[in-house]
Structure 1
Amino acid sequence: MQKRIIFLLILNVGIILVSLGVISHLSVNASIDRSIENRRMLANIIGRYIDYVIESNVKRLYDVSLSGKVDLGDNDWDPERKALKTAIEYSIFTGRIFLLDRAGHALLSYPHREEEGVHTFGIPYARKALTEFRPVISDVYTLPSTQRSVVLALVPLKNKDGEVVGVAGGEIDPTNYMLSQTISAIPTGAETIIELVDSHGVIIASNDPRRILTCGDRYRFLEGLVAEKKSAVQSCHRCKEGTAGRKRERDMLAFAPLTMAPWGVIVRDPVDSVFSPSSNLRRGFLLLSAVAIATTLLLAIGLSKGIVRPVQALIGATRKIADGNLDDPIEVEAKDEIGTLGKSVDDMRIKLAESLKSVQAYSEGLEGMVADRTRELHRSREKLAALLQGIITAEEDERKRIARELHDDTSQSLNAALISLDSVVAHFPAYDPIRKQLLQMREQCMAMLKGVHRMIKDLRPPILDDLGLESAIKWVLEKHIGERGIRYRLETTGSAAELKARAAVEVDYPRLELVLFRIAQEGIINISKHAEAENVEVILAFRESAIDMEIRDDGKGFDADSVYGAFRKDHQVGLGLVGMGERISLLDGTLEVRSEPGSGTRISVHVPVPT
């Protein structure tokens, strides 16, 4: 019987090992195929993102023409210079932006450099942009005047009449972090290389900064793939420096071309790292097989000798119960009649122990429930605070996003509409009624554009970031109080700069200023809309380790208690006051609103600033 048990166990283990080996081999091969395809997909994703970045910045060059300020014959370069300054902001053109006429002569650049004065550039890509009337992105190009290596983005330049009069171009420095960070920010293995190359094999960006602007000979075959806009996966060789000299290794290379530029993205890994799972599996499987067979032999021998152990264990357990020991469980692992008997005896032991410990267990359970409820309440409060912080952060991020979209999309569209209306109005005589209607449409567009600009400033006033809390509050007072003819006064004591310098490292001072600004903004807007006040006063005090702010008006006032009570019944009432209180609670501060009908309103805010 012992031999039969050993034979059956080894046979079963052998069948399992063979099945696992076949399945693992197929799975690893499929994993290798997926790994190769994932590298191709990674190259495609990076390429599409870089295409998006290039396309977005090419549009900024087109904005020079859309600005309606291009007139190369008026000898007034200030409008063109302002258009170039606007286009270079928040762009990847880290060198400069310039204008060329149709003959290729440099007319204007921003920022201007004396050592690169006005001269004929002789840029071969400018002719292509002029003749094909489309944007052109160059390979890495060396400027003749300074021998700097740059990438050029060129688009046709149109005057306000829509005629192509030259080229608007921008310089991109490949060594600048704005391109390299797109590659280096991607998490990869230690030996994985991701590079952006042009059609001549010159490396524009790489996760190894030392390789930027070098020319990889192994990449010269990519010129055809770039021209055909064709992705590929293939192997290549490279030389690796080691202690024994130069060692030639094989790499697996995935390539994806860009659509906006004659470039491509390369993801390269050593072949050994790609196929290492298969080799590791074979070695591990052989080791596992040997261990499994040895373990099976030992298990079979032990099993044949351990048939009588359940009976002995059951006898010993019954003796313990007879001696009054109800704590030790009866462990009978057999699944036959002996195991059933052992389970019945153990059930009896458990019931006896439960009857003796029921009172103690009930008391301990009650204490545990109280502790659990306390911890749950504490976690709920922490989650609520985190959720509130997330909502406020999301609100500010949404304000920034909407302001950015209004500036980049809506404002530009209205400017383009104004340019189009101006060009259409010019075709109608002064007495034509259609001209009058068009002029009315233009006034409406101008009003809409001013409204959009006001909305952008209300969403995220730049004065808060540029000049600080005091200037931002003064701007809100002037906009919402002063423009309505209401008298106002802003009184400031202490120094914001000194308090900011004394603040502890863990204090997020910009967020503190933003919360105070939003509270002041909410209170001032409420005064302008509802208070019917004649005088408004804001007192801002920067103390040794705190900021105090008080907003007072002599308006009609309101019953603050009734507003808070109405919010508890209907969450649409009193949102402004409750929102101010929630914001200030995130800073461990206090907010007090005192108001009575006919007696004005006073909002007092205190925020501690640890130093």
Structure 2
Amino acid sequence: MKRFSLRQAWSRRGLRVRIILLVGVGTLAPVLALGWASWARFGDMREQLLAERRLLAESIARHVEYVLQSNLEILQGTSSKLGVDFENLDIVQGQAAVKEAYLRSRLLGRVFLLAPNGEVLCEEPVGSGEITAVLAGLPVAAEALRTGRPTVSELVWDSSRGRRLYLLVPMRNWQGKVVGLVAGQIDPANPQLHSLLQPFLFSRNSSADLVDGQGIVLASTDPSRLYQQRDHRQFLQGLIRQRKSATGACHSCHPGSMLRGQVQEVITFVPLSLAPWGILLRQPEAEAFATVISLRRQVLGLGPVLLAVAVLFAWGAARSVTKPLGVLTGASERIAAGDLAEPIASLGEDEVGRLSRSLEKMRAALQESLESVAQANQQLERRVEERTRELERLYQQLREREESRRQLLRKVISAQEEERKRIARELHDETSQALTALLMRLETVLVALPSEEPRRRLEEAKVLAGRTVDGLHRLILDLRPAVLDDLGLLSAIRWCAERHLKPLGTVVRCEFSGLDRRLPTEIETALFRAVQEAVSNIAKHAQAETVLIQCALRGGVLTVEIEDDGKGFDPSKMGTPGAAIRGVGLLGIQERMELLGGSVQIESEPGQGCRLVLTVSVASEGSDA
């Protein structure tokens, strides 16, 4: 209902409005898709710019680490030259090694040897021993002595020399025990430290800072920021501790009130692996994303212009279509009202012009067509009436034939059963009695004969006569079992199945439901004969171990199902010579069910048993009970 309402609302709009909307949408949709893709690309460009700054910061960090590693290797070389007997150190030799390390390094402002207690044994340049108290209280010195690994300190305040940084390399004796330190001192004001960052300055307003774990600037491309503590101290401490990089806009981590009057920046931070330091790159956001911001402004400015052009184009296209269509609409309304006198003018050579010429041809032929249609309708009505009368006559004949068939069914079944009764009665009253008298005579003669040979021959004749009497009795029961007349269809089916199948060792199970009354005699007789034939086929051909017979009456329809687990057969080959005997029995079953207006369904496969379903309607029949 909702879809239908929307369709109705759309169809109520004028054609001009719809054309304007469709053309406008068709024009703007690609533009909007392109704009959306461009806008998404802006985000990719932004991420790419951030990634480039992260790569730059990583390059600076690798460069600084390379310089630090070189100086640590110089100090390590000093430790190697002094040998493993540090306890018996030759001061002259130690002073020479320290001096060599000092001269090789352009970054270290002082190199010295320390005892485990912090005492300075040798230093270059030679100065006062005030450095001893400073280094003795450094946690990094204690850590280097404890772990035995090279260590780099954060910014340390030295009252005599100001702020300093220290590189410490442990010295080990021949037992591998740490017995001292080789230390290098770096002055953050040393231009050599700042020169590590200058080659990577990528714009006038950008900056690169080397900061320690406290957020204090150790070196910078802007010397005025030396020793300043950055406003992201805790954030930088966490990144250095976790050895994680970060890139993003600075304003994303500040409240709005803190940014008023400040320049929004893009920052990139990369920690060093050799020292508790990190590289911090800063650049104004307007400068970093200048290209992206410019492209966004161009896209936003171009949007309204494209919208105006699309609306103007849609309006012109709609007008070029709706004006001639208005003329054709008026002509078609006149034709619909029955006015076929006024001709329709040609409107050009385009599609609308062809439409106008087609309408003119339609107007000229419409009157003739209406008359022809009227005549055809009259002829069709006459033919329909004649055909209807013919169908009614054929239907009446069909009903009469059906009634005749039903009557013939009753007569045929009755005649068959009456003939069976007569034959069974004559066999019982005459032939059976004669055979019984013959048995009695034979018995009398057997008693009177003294000789063995005649007695043996008469005994054989007596046995043959007894078998004949038994066979005659079975024949009488097959012709017309008394149980069918006395107890009804279900008892007769159970008796027939047990009589034919149980002597063969076949397990028989009968399940009956819904049938608590007697059916018409012809139906009971026909169904019993069909079941009798099916049971006979199972006994002769199926070699079944179990047979299930089900009878059920539901909704006026009686269904009899006979299912066995025998060797089965292929129903499609019933017409072949090898299946002639079984085929005759099944054909008889089908004929009996067709006479009752019922149906037969056979389901079987070789090796899968057989299922026979008999169905007949008993709703309109009365009861004989």
* TM-score, normalising length: structure 2: 0.41
Find the structure with the greater CA-based Rg: 2
Larger relative helix fraction:
2
